[in-house]
Structure 1
Amino acid sequence: MEIERKFLTKEVPFSLNVYPSHQISQCYISLSPTIRLRRQDQDFILTVKGKGLMAKEEFELPLSREEYEKLLEKAETPPVEKRRYLVPLENGLTAEVDIYEGPLLGLTTTEVEFTSMEEAKAFVPPQWFGKDVTMDKAYKNTALALYGIPEEKE
């Protein structure tokens, strides 16, 4: 079970370059059910996700480069390209700061994964995280891949 909250981050008030990071390219070979194909550095992963916004079931399967490239031919969406920085937080949590590239250049989001719904609901994010967009479907990676950066709603 994946339990996470997602935030629209306008500005990170420190250098991310001191933290570990991963180059990620992902697309979707099915939107219903959600089946994601991801390259993270030199790792290749097929992910099947259940429905939900804050909590959803998730199953991951490692792939060889050849399997990944064959499945890539079946992509239903353009790729989402981003660099993910892993910033440690209190209580053993990690902020995953995603700096998007390509057509999504200019978008930055921060996600935090939790071990329980109670922990997720009780989490008080640092101010720099920005607006909580966990429940906004427009900021799901499937929507970003299909429709680009959402227009801000006031």
Structure 2
Amino acid sequence: MTVRRRFLLAPSFARLIRRERGGPRHVEGFFPQQPERSAWVRLEEDRGLLVLTTASPDGEVEDETEIPGAQAQALLAACAGAVDYTRTILPLGDRHVLVDEIPRPGVLHLVTVAFATEAEARGFGPPEWFGPEVTGDPRYTHRSIALRGLDKVPEIPLSDAALNRLIDALDTRVPAPAQTRGDAVGVNLDEIEEAMLRDMARIRPKGTPA
């Protein structure tokens, strides 16, 4: 059983995370929804997964079967809709969070945290750099984005405090799980911080103190 909480993420924060930590490209294709269950296929570069998700009173139960990449490509072509994204795995305390940059079929930036139980999920306090929570909003699931498209995403306010907390998280020396064909690129966080502070200054409403 897996319980997930999802949050929106400011686009500039998502870009900063990807530039610092990198991440592989994924494509997920979804078959039409069935009562109490759904099936979908994920292509992680050359690795394919066929996934069956079943709803239960305690959360979602997922059964995964690894399949050849060529077979995953064929299944993707038969899917009702697909979503394309780059995923970065970032350590956060005693767990890891998944940061997804979705360019297609609509631009969206999400951060997802997985838990073993509902109690564990309820006890989680999101850090300041997370945006609004959308766990209960089906519009922001990969399935909904792939099959129904994406409405306009609300603008997420930025703050110095949120930026500083994110830089602290990126500056940790705890290694993240291995990512396929590590695409991480070393960057100067000070330079990025200066650029993001300029972004925040541009979007501050007029008359708001700096």
What TM-score results when the alignment is normalised by the length of structure 2? 0.65
The change in CA–CA distance for 1:119 and 1:22 in structure 2 (over 3 A counts) is same
Match of 1:126 in 2: 127
Match of 1:94 in 2: 96
Q: CA deviation at 1:137?
A: 0.8
Contact 1:3 1:117 survives alignment (8 Å): yes
Structure 2 counterparts to residues 53-64 of structure 1, below 5 A: 55-64=59-68
Match of 2:49 in 1: 45
Q: Distance in 1 between matches of 2:71 and 2:15?
A: 39
The change in CA–CA distance for 1:130 and 1:84 in structure 2 (over 3 A counts) is same
Aligned residue pair count:
150
Deviations 1:64-117 (A, max 9, x none): 12322332342112x2000011110012x1110100113322x10000111221
The yes-or-no answer on 1:74 pairing with 2:40 is: no
Contact 2:90 2:98 survives alignment (8 Å): yes
Match of 1:35 in 2: 39
**Rg larger in 1 or in 2?**
2
Q: Distance in 2 between matches of 1:18 and 1:53?
A: 39
Identical positions, percent: 23
The change in CA–CA distance for 1:103 and 1:54 in structure 2 (over 3 A counts) is farther
Letter in 2 for 1:40: E
SS of residue in 1 equivalent to 2:55: coil
Match of 1:8 in 2: 8
More strand by share: 1
Q: Distance in 2 between matches of 1:108 and 1:45?
A: 23
Match of residue 88, structure 2, among 85, 88, 98? 85
Q: CA deviation at 1:152?
A: 5.2
Deviations 1:120-140 (A, max 9, x none): 110000121111101111111
Q: Distance in 2 between matches of 1:122 and 1:146?
A: 32
More helix by share: 2
Q: Distance in 1 between matches of 2:135 and 2:2?
A: 13
Q: CA deviation at 1:20?
A: 4.7
Structure 1 residue ranges (4+ consecutive) displaced by more than 3 angstroms after TM superposition = none
C-alpha RMSD over aligned residues: 2.3
